[in-house]
């Protein structure tokens, strides 16, 4: 029941437009529908997207959603040959209508510029009879750059909720490896913000750890946690829900906490863009005609990447199926095949660490839409999850979900085999996360009429040791020696930012218990 008082309350229907001032009225008339956000667990909030982005997570622990999603479709007739930036302008305009066109244009130009190694940003390439969309050409070589290059620009264009002009935002993030670096890169030295990243000690690769601990910037904090990713993510959620801490931070440091995890609306919606971009590129390559359906296979952890594909479908993109590919932590596979989500199971630390997740946060948003926006049901299910570690959805809802979402998973041996298989068959090197998707794609019957796009979520150079082992190459040296061997053997090049880590200065060596995370945040806030 948050009451925000920055800016006028927005009318929720076109019929009320006469009540607003002319400037706003023109703006609203163009967009027609006013989008407001509330929690997946209650409908009392009525926030603009800017407010939702600034807050990150709803007070009741739910995720922000908009009931207007899909009411305005995004036109696909003229996508062929359109630039990534132009597509982003169109898609983000539909999803974040309280940003002006000019604000969005600035955010897009800053986020999708020279820091990308490919001018298409997320290029689509043939892979045998299928296609692969590379999401890893950004500054940290993982797909999270797509969202985290733009999220700080969005945040910079939001205003403090209570009129405290000195207010600063502290981003607090738990990472299973890739989010942390991408968030650090996005927020480093961004005005009015600070960032604190927690990662599970000893559970990320050498390259991933160095990427984070060498991060430059006066507003960044990096800390290892004694626990796994779920422990760290749960603790971050508790920190966000701690009202006493929030009051102390506001009073002592003028700081509000926000999230850069994929639970933030501003993290999720930029990912919708590349599904449209994939479609545009397939049109341009004359693989499809306007209106033809496409299938996406998505290596999945927190369900953010694939949820963006579902949003794209709701916005009118002809998506036939979205296939959830998991690693050995196959909680989503079990859920999508049985209707029961059960987090009470062993946690496996695998060679695809960014998918080692037992609680897939963004699933809650999909369930909200699939339950016909039944916030009460979602609230009950999430309560069950908290209390019993499990929940079960109605069978009708499961049937509906399964019409769109396929699923599969790969164990670690299969991941290694697939890295070799993909190289042998296609002369294309994939990382262990992408390999989960590649495996699942090989298992599915192929409909020759529906092109399949595998989302490649990380550069193989982020995980050079596993890749070398899988390809039968020397993997006895450091990660950097492995990179050189991989480059030599495959004729590919390591991204310069990754190769350069070998000589970068380590700035952070903090380690805390899960219980110590809150203190760490409070201390970091004081230094902002
Ligand atoms: C984060 C990540 C994933 C999983 O994405 P979700 O949005 O959490 O489902 C897959 N692969 C890589 C390399 C990642 O960094």
CATH number of 148-264+506-526: 3.40.50.1100
Q: Which of 90, 97, 103 is nearest to 47 (CA)?
A: 97
CA of 299, closest atom in ligand 1? 10
Residue 228 CA, ligand 1 centroid: distance in Å: 16
- Residue carrying structure tokens 């693989």: 287
pLDDT of residue 4 exceeding 60, the answer is no
pLDDT of residue 280 exceeding 50, the answer is yes
The answer to whether 307 and 366 have CB atoms below 8 angstroms apart is yes
- Residue carrying structure tokens 């880590």: 501
Q: Which of 179, 355, 362, 415 to mutate to test the pocket of ligand 1 (most atoms within 8 A of CB)?
A: 355
pLDDT of res. 237? 86
Ligand 1 contacts CB of residue 300 (under 6 A): yes
Torsion of CA 71, 72, 77, 82, to 10 degrees: -130
Q: H helices within 32-118, ranges in order?
A: 49-55, 84-95, 101-111
Q: Give the span between the Cα atoms of 213 and 207, in whole angstroms.
A: 10
Phi then psi dihedrals of residue 171, to 5 deg? -80, 125
Structure token digits, residue 128:
């045998």
pLDDT digits (tens, 9 = 90+) for 289-323: 999 999 999 999 999 999 999 999 999 999 999 99
Residue 79 CA, ligand 1 centroid: distance in Å: 27
Residue 205 CA, ligand 1 centroid: distance in Å: 15
CA of 431, closest atom in ligand 1? 13
Structure token digits, residue 152:
């700080």
pLDDT of res. 163? 67
Length of the chain (residues) = 528
Phi then psi dihedrals of residue 527, to 5 deg? -90, -5
Supply the residue whose CA is at minimum distance from atom 1 of ligand 1.
354
Ligand 1 contacts CB of residue 355 (under 6 A): yes
Q: Give the span between the Cα atoms of 212 and 177, in whole angstroms.
A: 9
pLDDT of residue 10 exceeding 80, the answer is no
* Structural domain spans, the chain: 148-264+506-526, 460-494
pLDDT digits (tens, 9 = 90+) for 172-209: 999 877 889 999 999 999 888 999 999 999 988 888 89
Q: What is the mean pLDDT of the chain?
A: 91
Ligand 1 contacts CB of residue 301 (under 6 A): yes
**Mean pLDDT of the 451-468 span:** 97
Q: Give the span between the Cα atoms of 283 and 42, in whole angstroms.
A: 40
Residue 446 CA, ligand 1 centroid: distance in Å: 24
pLDDT of residue 11 exceeding 50, the answer is no
Ligand 1 contacts CB of residue 391 (under 6 A): no
Residue 26 CA, ligand 1 centroid: distance in Å: 40
The answer to whether 37 and 66 have CB atoms below 8 angstroms apart is yes
Residue 110 CA, ligand 1 centroid: distance in Å: 23
CA of 144, closest atom in ligand 1? 15
pLDDT digits (tens, 9 = 90+) for 209-228: 999 999 999 999 999 999 98
Ligand 1 contacts CB of residue 142 (under 6 A): yes
pLDDT of res. 260? 82
Ligand 1 contacts CB of residue 220 (under 6 A): no
CA of 271, closest atom in ligand 1? 7
Ligand 1 contacts CB of residue 302 (under 6 A): yes
**How many CB atoms are located within 10 Å of the residue 343 CB?**
18
pLDDT of res. 159? 80
Half-sphere exposure of 138 (CA within 13 A, CB side): 26
**Mean pLDDT of the 458-483 span:** 96
- Three-state DSSP state, 200: strand
**Mean pLDDT of the 328-343 span:** 98
**How many CB atoms are located within 10 Å of the residue 251 CB?**
9
pLDDT of res. 21? 45
CA of 182, closest atom in ligand 1? 15
- End-to-end CA separation in angstroms for the chain: 29
Residue 166 CA, ligand 1 centroid: distance in Å: 35
CA of 300, closest atom in ligand 1? 9
Torsion of CA 7, 11, 15, 19, to 10 degrees: -30
pLDDT of residue 1 exceeding 70, the answer is no
Q: Report which secondary-structure segment, H or E, holds 180.
A: helix 178-187
Residue 513 CA, ligand 1 centroid: distance in Å: 25
pLDDT of res. 203? 87
pLDDT of residue 8 exceeding 90, the answer is no
Q: In what order do the strands lie in the sheet with 510-513?
A: 255-258, 168-174, 193-200, 220-226, 510-513
CA of 305, closest atom in ligand 1? 7
Ligand 1 contacts CB of residue 262 (under 6 A): yes
Q: Which of 436, 418, 424, 434 is nearest to 490 (CA)?
A: 424
Ligand 1 contacts CB of residue 200 (under 6 A): no
Q: Which of 157, 208, 160 is nearest to 185 (CA)?
A: 208
CA of 308, closest atom in ligand 1? 7
Q: Give the span between the Cα atoms of 144 and 44, in whole angstroms.
A: 31
Residue 231 CA, ligand 1 centroid: distance in Å: 18
Q: Which of 235, 317, 232, 238 is nearest to 273 (CA)?
A: 317
pLDDT of res. 35? 80
Q: Give the span between the Cα atoms of 46 and 505, in whole angstroms.
A: 46
The answer to whether 429 and 460 have CB atoms below 8 angstroms apart is yes
pLDDT digits (tens, 9 = 90+) for 223-261: 999 998 889 988 998 998 899 999 999 999 999 998 887
Q: Give 398's DSSP letter.
A: H
């Amino acid at each position: 029941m948050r009451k925000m008082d920055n800016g006028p309350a927005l009318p929720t229907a076109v019929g009320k437009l006469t009540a607003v001032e002319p400037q706003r009225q023109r703006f609203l008339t163009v967009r027609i529908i006013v989008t407001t956000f509330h929690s997946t667990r209650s409908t009392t909030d009525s926030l603009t997207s800017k407010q939702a982005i600034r807050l990150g997570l709803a007070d009741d622990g739910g995720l922000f959603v908009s009931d207007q999603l899909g009411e305005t479709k995004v036109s696909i007739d003229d996508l062929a040959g359109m630039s990534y930036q132009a597509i982003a302008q169109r898609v983000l305009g539909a999803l974040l209508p309280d940003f002006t066109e000019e604000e969005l244009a600035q955010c897009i130009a800053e986020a999708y510029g020279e820091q990308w190694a490919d001018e298409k940003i997320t290029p689509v390439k043939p892979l045998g009879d299928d296609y692969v969309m590379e999401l890893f050409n950004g500054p940290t070589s993982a797909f999270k750059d797509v969202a985290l290059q733009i999220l700080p620009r969005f945040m910079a264009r939001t205003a403090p909720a209570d009129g405290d002009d000195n207010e600063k935002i502290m981003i607090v993030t738990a990472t299973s490896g890739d989010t942390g670096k991408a968030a650090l890169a996005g927020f480093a030295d961004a005005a009015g913000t600070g960032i604190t990243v927690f990662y599970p000690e000893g559970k990320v690769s050498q390259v991933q750890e160095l990427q984070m601990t060498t991060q430059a910037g006066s507003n960044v904090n990096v800390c290892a946690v004694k626990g796994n990713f779920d422990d760290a993510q749960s603790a971050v959620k508790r920190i966000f829900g701690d009202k006493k801490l929030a009051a102390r931070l506001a009073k002592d440091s003028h700081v509000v906490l926000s999230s850069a995890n994929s639970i933030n609306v501003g993290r999720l919606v930029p990912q919708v863009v590349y599904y449209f971009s994939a479609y545009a590129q397939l049109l341009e390559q004359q693989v499809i005609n306007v209106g033809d359906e496409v299938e996406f296979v998505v290596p999945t952890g927190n369900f953010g990447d694939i949820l963006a594909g579902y949003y794209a479908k709701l916005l009118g993109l002809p998506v036939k199926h979205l296939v959830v590919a998991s690693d050995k932590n196959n909680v989503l596979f079990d859920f999508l095949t049985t209707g029961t989500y059960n987090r009470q199971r062993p946690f496996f630390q695998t060679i695809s660490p960014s998918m080692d997740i037992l609680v897939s946060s963004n699933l809650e948003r999909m369930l909200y839409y699939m339950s016909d926006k039944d916030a009460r049901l979602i609230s009950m299910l999430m309560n069950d999850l908290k209390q019993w570690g499990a929940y079960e959805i109605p069978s009708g809802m499961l049937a509906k979900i399964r019409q769109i979402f396929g699923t599969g998973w790969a164990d670690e041996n299969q991941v290694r085999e697939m890295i070799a298989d993909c190289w042998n068959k296609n002369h294309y090197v994939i990382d262990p996360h992408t390999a989960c998707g590649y495996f699942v794609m090989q298992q599915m019957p192929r409909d020759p009429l529906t092109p399949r796009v595998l989302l490649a979520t990380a550069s193989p150079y982020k995980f050079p040791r596993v890749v070398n082992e899988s390809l039968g190459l020397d993997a006895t040296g450091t990660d950097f020696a492995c990179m050189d061997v991989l480059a030599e053997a495959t004729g590919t090049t390591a991204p310069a930012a990754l190769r350069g880590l070998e000589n970068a200065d380590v700035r952070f060596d903090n380690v805390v218990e899960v219980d110590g995370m809150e203190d760490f945040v409070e201390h970091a806030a004081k230094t902002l």
